[in-house]
């Protein structure tokens, strides 16, 4: 029996490998490996795709967030409101610029920031909100922007898992002042290595981002600010240009797979399927269910979710847990003093979530194996 991985990039390479090889060889022959026309063309294409005027490519999604915070001059003494139920980079970068992340609990249905709780977390020090479009599902940006506007806060969208997702017909990354993207290989638009980008409609912010990503210089060897080295390689840009053309098709395939998971899983007791919000169009970076248990049934302290995951593995299905420990309870944030139970929806999600295999090339047979496996475990 072949084990079904959580994601598989080899089929995608079989499909477009020849195009990728040609593009990479072209860059190798050009002798121009960092920056240059290919990177600039990719930036313009991604800006057009997202629906903004400016795109600044960089080395990773983490750097995109860091550069965005730096460009907005957010730093020591400032607070940044965000979700604890995310990849560490969202909080880590706020801390890296010297700001303090303020974690607000999530909505149980979407796993995204609970917008009803944002205003209570705003203080005179609050400078920005970083919503994360988790698992590909967009945050209610209409409501979030209204809150931000009323309190004069900047919004940095963490779009790392949501390239192509839309809220009310607008692509994520074009709604807040800044959008941050990751091209980590398993993201919807993935490079063959690390990569990231920042989008904005503000040319001044874009100019600052370009300066910061290149050692704080506008040209030559004159350094206006402490910057970093965070440029996108020409090889990655060449690969991303090709993959961008396929992105909508791949996202549509993910949608078909998600719809089929919904149908097959909706009536299994103990499984809560993810739901799309009415104005949102998810790109299904992950298909994440909740494995819920009656606390009275809980066996010897081991979570039902973890038992299911182990059993699924023995049936040849690798599932993932994003995320087992929310940021507010991580060792790095001990000094912030959050307690278990303080953000109960996040704590609970961490105990219940299970991400099933999800990638555009997942076959019907593989999907059936996942579903039968899951039914077996819970039967």
Ligand X SMILES: *Cc1c(COP(=O)(O)O)cnc(C)c1O
Binding site for ligand X (CB under 6 A): 60-62, 86-87, 89-90, 132, 158, 160-161, 182, 184, 194, 196
With respect to ligand X, which residue has the nearer C-beta, 112 or 174?
A: 112
Please say whether the beta carbons of 304 and 354 come within 8 A: no
For residue 155, give the 3-state DSSP assignment: strand
Quote the least distance from Cβ 158 to ligand X, whole Å: 5
With respect to ligand X, which residue has the nearer C-beta, 326 or 373?
A: 326
Please say whether the beta carbons of 102 and 113 come within 8 A: no
Quote the least distance from Cβ 188 to ligand X, whole Å: 11
Quote the least distance from Cβ 38 to ligand X, whole Å: 20
Quote the least distance from Cβ 300 to ligand X, whole Å: 33
Bridge partners, 355 (sequence order): 288, 320
Q: Where are the beta strands (DSSP E) in the chain?
A: 54-58, 79-82, 100-103, 126-130, 154-158, 166-167, 170-171, 178-182, 196-200, 271-272, 280-281, 287-291, 353-356
Quote the least distance from Cβ 347 to ligand X, whole Å: 19
**Who contacts 143 (Cβ-Cβ below 8 Å, separation ≥6)?**
115
Closest-CB residue for ligand X?
61
Quote the least distance from Cβ 130 to ligand X, whole Å: 9
- Would you give the DSSP letter of residue 279? T
d(Cα 234, Cα 105) in Å, to the nearest integer?
A: 40
With respect to ligand X, which residue has the nearer C-beta, 54 or 194?
A: 194
With respect to ligand X, which residue has the nearer C-beta, 179 or 196?
A: 196
With respect to ligand X, which residue has the nearer C-beta, 49 or 322?
A: 322
Closest to 12 in 3D by CA, of 253, 340, 220, 275: 253
- Phi, psi at residue 319, to the nearest 5°? -110, 170
With respect to ligand X, which residue has the nearer C-beta, 86 or 366?
A: 86
């Amino acid at each position: 029996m072949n084990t079904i991985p959580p994601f598989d990039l080899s089929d995608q390479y079989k499909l477009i490998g020849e195009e990728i090889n040609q593009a990479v060889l072209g860059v190798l022959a050009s002798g121009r490996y960092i920056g240059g026309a290919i990177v600039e063309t990719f930036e313009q294409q991604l800006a057009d795709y997202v629906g903004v005027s400016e795109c600044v490519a960089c080395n990773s999604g983490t750097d995109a967030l860091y550069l965005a915070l730096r460009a907005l001059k957010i730093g020591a003494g400032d607070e940044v409101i965000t979700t604890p139920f995310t990849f560490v980079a969202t909080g880590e970068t706020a801390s890296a610029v010297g700001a303090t992340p303020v974690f607000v609990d999530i909505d149980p249905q979407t796993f995204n920031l609970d917008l009803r709780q944002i205003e209570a977390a705003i203080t005179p020090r609050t400078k920005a909100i970083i919503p994360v479009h988790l698992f590909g599902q967009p945050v209610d940006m209409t409501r979030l922007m209204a809150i931000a506007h009323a309190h004069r806060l900047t919004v940095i969208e963490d779009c790392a898992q949501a390239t192509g997702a839309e809220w009310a017909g607008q692509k994520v990354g074009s709604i807040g002042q800044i959008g941050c993207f990751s091209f980590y290989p398993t993201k919807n638009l993935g490079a063959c290595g690390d990569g990231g980008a920042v989008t904005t409609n503000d040319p001044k912010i874009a100019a600052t981002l370009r300066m910061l990503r290149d050692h704080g210089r506008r040209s030559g060897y004159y350094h206006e600010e402490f910057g970093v080295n965070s440029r996108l390689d020409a090889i990655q840009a060449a690969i991303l240009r090709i993959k961008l053309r396929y992105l909508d098709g791949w996202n549509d395939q993910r949608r078909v797979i998600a719809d089929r998971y919904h149908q097959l899983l909706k009536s299994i007791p103990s499984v809560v399927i993810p739901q799309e919000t009415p104005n949102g169009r998810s790109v299904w970076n992950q298909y994440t269910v909740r494995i819920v248990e009656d606390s009275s049934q809980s066996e010897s302290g081991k979570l039902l979710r973890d038992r299911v995951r182990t059993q699924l593995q023995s049936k040849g299905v690798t599932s993932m847990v994003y995320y087992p420990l929310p940021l507010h309870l991580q060792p790095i944030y001990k000094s912030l003093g959050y307690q278990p139970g303080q953000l109960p929806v996040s704590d609970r999600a961490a105990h219940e979530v299970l991400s099933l295999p999800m990638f555009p090339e997942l076959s019907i047979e593989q999907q059936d194996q996942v579903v039968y496996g899951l039914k077996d475990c819970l039967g």
